[in-house]
Structure 1
Amino acid sequence: MTTILLTVIGSRAYGLVGPESDVDLRGVFVAPTTAFWRFAKPPTSVEGPEPERLDWEVEHFCALALKSNPTVLEVLASPLIRVCTPVGAELRALLPAFLCRQAAATFTHTCRRQLDRALAPERPKHKQIMHVIRLGQTALRLLRTGELSIAAQDRAALLAVRDGETPLAESVAWAERVLADLAAAVPDSPLPETPDTARVQDWLISVRRRFLDDADPA
């Protein structure tokens, strides 16, 4: 298996790093094409060896990105790159093919799920609410501009939410406003309705051909 891309996502990539922030590593690897000819297929993802690291096999990664998975898309937009081979650079350049209006529904669903968890009766989680707002703002900017940037907006205000300096009701209201704005931005978005699946598939086929003989053309 060959790692073609490894990036840092999470608070460090968003510009919201704190004293307790982990180094969240996410990457993409390519398994030799011949490995798929056996009954035992290569794994779709692998954890480690570093703490907080997860890598996806390139086909599974592309399938998730075509569904606008927020975490997967952030791998392609992160400015903090640990490994990027020529094939990895091709994948990063493919980012526009994954971006579409479908992201609004996927990001909103993720935000809603996180917000519900953050407001669980046992104890509100201010950090999680901060990330809901940040993710919603990221999606809103994507819908309005057609480009994905994961750098946090309103950094000081977001940190105030994280640290519990902003009243809980105000933080939740902010999150709700962002999600409402996100829904309203869909009709006028410059993004296409669906991703460019054909372009992604053509690239994936080219990768499979280049890795046919267990060589390492990355």
Structure 2
Amino acid sequence: MPQARLLPAYLVQRYHGWKATTYQDNKSWYRRLAASGQHPRAMVISCCDSRVHVTSIFGADEGEFFIHRNVANLVPPYTPDGQTHGTSAAVEYAVTSLGVAHIVVLGHSNCGGVKGCLDMCSGEAPELLETSSFVGRWMDILRPGYERVKDVDAAFRARALEKQSVLVSIDNLMTFPFVAKAVEEESLTLHGLWTDVGEGGLEQFDPVRGEFLPV
């Protein structure tokens, strides 16, 4: 594999700093985690945006969350077509093997993937319409959400679509038979959250009021 290279020096230094401090101070805990396997109570599906730090938001330790990240925190509909589906595989593993009690879908402000969907659906990003665009075909998942907010004032449309990315994903989660069954049996609950990166705010979807409210 001649294309692979050694880590840049700053990452090596950070690793050695972690190994000498955090790991050294908690060595028995890490070894227990390694020996006993993982038993997370919740799965978190979040955006792969580098500004969204799930474990920091909730003050979580290693082993607490089963985390899956992708562009715009999307879950596709249940499609058992024999193709490669990373997000669907993660959901299946979390529910059927790990037995998580909660699935949290976490959206966020200023999401680049959501903006791409907005631009694509409004005709401002024709390159995303190309069949060769991985981002474009992934953001097709969010088209139903765009249809719901396309008439919202332009100043608020992006934020509305960011929240739709959460709701579309929750709707799609319920198309998975094993998710629907677990929800019906009350062994699994689904939660929709949206965080404001700049302000540190967190909102959750209230199904009774049909809107996102501050936590």
TM-score computed with the length of structure 2 as normaliser: 0.26
The structure whose residues are more often strand, as a share, is: 2
TM-score computed with the length of structure 1 as normaliser: 0.25
